[in-house]
């Protein structure tokens, strides 16, 4: 897990630039949206894109991370594009083969191709991580938004509830949820997601408290906008940036937590490949077939590292200690 869930600094490219604020202010105050600055807007975007591309080339680590993430995402959505071998097809004559050109990750005790199993397992493992992050983000954002917007006793109550979630060690909380909900990838994902609600809620709340003091919120309220409109149109888009950055950070944590639970045997039912359970499946062959645990484990580690690298770049914390 990452230890800092404090608001990532310098997420300025995610928040609305001042020009946008003025336009919104005008819209909120009742005048038609100002369209004259559209060309200027595209020019700055192109310039920004060019600058970002230039940055990318100078950062091979980030480029590698993006490449790996694209590869793994492809594996998750169209596994057959990368490996057309059936991950469940057992070839008894080719069991426990070491990695070779035909089987890049080797084969398991039933003669199934491990590379294909890892590729086809990406969908479940990454999907579960995304569900987990979505659960945490949505629930956390709603709690933080309501808490920061309404203030008063609602805020006090919600924040105390969030404190309690923080007092129970994350894995223990998700294990309790798994005990109650039952086993399976989706249930594991939900259980993992709930443990990240607290962090998201805290950040969202502090952002809402910061943003609600801004001039454009005041202008919108003064212009007669309804509370719900202020909440959805002005507060949420402007306060959401840091939470989204946290969300990308949480993907890595979620992949680790989901694969740990799947390693312990609470995820998908055996023949279905899933990263954590693939590592668990190689436990009995540690002394003889190293690739059975090493390859899926390396895949998990590389993915978590890549996602972490990208989210640190998004959070503007490059080269800085977190």
Partner 1 sequence: MGGYLARRLGQAVLVLWAAYTVSFLVLYALPGDAVDTRLGADSGSDITPEQIAALKSDYGLDRPLVIQYLTQLGRALGGDLGRSFDNGRPVTSLIAEGLPATLAIAGAALVISVLAGGGLALLAAGTRHRRLSRFLLNLPPLGVAVPGFWVGLLLLQQFSFRLPIFPALGNEGLRSIVLPAITLALPTSAMIAQLLAKSLSQSLAEPYADTARAKGASRSRVLLRHALRNATLPALTVAGLLTGQLLSGSVVVETVFSRTGLGRLTATAVSAQDTAVVQGLVIFGALVFVLVNLLVDLLYPVLDRRILRTTPRILITAEGRT
Q: For residue 113, what are the β-bridge partners? A: 107
As measured in angstroms, the least distance from the Cβ of 241 to partner 1 is 19
164 belongs to the binding site for partner 1 (CB under 8 A): yes
* Cα angle: 272, vertex 308, 280; to 5 degrees: 30
Q: Which is nearer to partner 1, 76 or 236 (CB)?
A: 76
Q: How many residues does the chain have?
A: 322
Rounded Cα gap, residues 44 and 42, in angstroms: 5
Q: Which of 78, 81, 168, 215 binds partner 1 (CB under 8 A)?
A: 168
259, 125 contact by CB (below 8 A) = yes
> Please, what is the minimum distance in Å from the beta carbon of residue 214 to partner 1?
24
Closest by CA to 188, choosing from 198, 175, 199, is 175
Please tell me the distance from the alpha carbon of residue 92 to that of residue 109, in angstroms, as a whole number. Answer: 8
What's phi and psi for 302, nearest 5 deg?
-60, -40
- Tell me, by CB under 8 A, how many residues bind partner 1: 57
Q: Is 41 in the site for partner 1 (CB under 8 A)?
A: no
Find the binding residues for partner 1 in span 184-203 (CB under 8 A).
199, 202
Which of 25, 188, 256, 268: binder of partner 1 (CB under 8 A)?
256
Q: Label residue 193 exposed, middle or buried (CB < 10 Å: 0-12, 13-18, 19+).
A: buried
Q: How many CB atoms lie within 10 A of CB 8?
A: 23
Which of 130, 192, 300, 310 lies at the binding interface for partner 1 (CB under 8 A)? 300
Of 53 and 164, nearer to partner 1 (C-beta) is 164
Q: Does 68 contact partner 1 by CB under 8 A?
A: no
Contacts of 9 (CB under 8 A, 6+ apart): 315, 316, 317
Determine contact, residues 129/254, Cβ cutoff 8 Å.
yes
| Site for partner 1 contains 313 (CB under 8 A) | no
Q: Does residue 157 belong to the site contacting partner 1 (CB under 8 A)?
A: no
Stretch that binds partner 1, among 15-23, 47-55, 179-187, 204-212 (CB under 8 A): 179-187
Q: According to the binding rule CB under 8 A, does residue 294 interact with partner 1?
A: yes
Q: Identify residues 195-254 at the interface with partner 1 (CB under 8 A).
A: 199, 202, 252
Binding residues for partner 1 (CB under 8 A): 1-6, 160-161, 163-173, 175-182, 199, 202, 252, 256, 259-260, 263-266, 276, 279-280, 282-283, 286-287, 290, 293-294, 297, 300-301, 304-305, 308, 312, 319, 321-322
């Amino acid at each position: 897990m990452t230890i800092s869930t404090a608001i990532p600094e310098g997420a300025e490219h995610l928040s609305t630039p001042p020009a946008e604020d003025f336009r919104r202010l005008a819209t909120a105050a009742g005048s038609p949206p100002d369209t004259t600055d559209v060309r200027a807007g595209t020019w700055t975007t192109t310039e920004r894109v060019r600058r970002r591309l230039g940055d990318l080339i100078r950062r091979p680590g980030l480029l590698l991370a993006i490449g790996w993430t694209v590869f793994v995402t492809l594996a998750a959505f169209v596994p057959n594009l990368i490996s057309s071998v059936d991950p469940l097809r057992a070839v008894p004559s080719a069991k426990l083969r070491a990695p070779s050109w035909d089987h890049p990750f080797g084969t398991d005790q039933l003669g199934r191709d491990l590379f294909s199993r890892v590729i086809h397992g990406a969908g479940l493992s990454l999907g579960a991580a995304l569900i987990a992050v979505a659960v945490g983000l949505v629930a956390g954002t709603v709690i933080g938004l309501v808490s920061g917007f309404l203030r008063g006793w609602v805020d006090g109550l919600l924040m105390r509830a969030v404190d309690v979630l923080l007092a129970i060690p994350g894995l223990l909380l998700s294990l309790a949820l798994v005990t109650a909900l039952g086993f399976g990838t989706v249930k594991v994902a939900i259980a993992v997601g709930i443990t990240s609600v607290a962090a998201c809620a805290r950040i969202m709340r502090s952002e809402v408290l910061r943003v609600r003091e801004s001039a454009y919120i005041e202008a919108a309220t003064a212009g007669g906008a309804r509370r719900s409109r202020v909440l959805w149109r002005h507060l949420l888009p402007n306060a959401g940036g840091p939470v989204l950055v946290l969300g990308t950070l949480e993907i890595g944590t979620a992949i680790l937590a989901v694969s740990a639970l799947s390693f312990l045997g609470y995820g998908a039912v055996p023949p279905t490949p899933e990263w954590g359970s693939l590592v668990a499946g190689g436990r009995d062959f540690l002394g003889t077939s190293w690739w059975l645990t090493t390859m899926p484990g390396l895949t998990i580690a590389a993915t978590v590292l890549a996602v972490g690298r990208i989210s640190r770049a998004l959070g503007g914390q490059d080269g800085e200690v977190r």
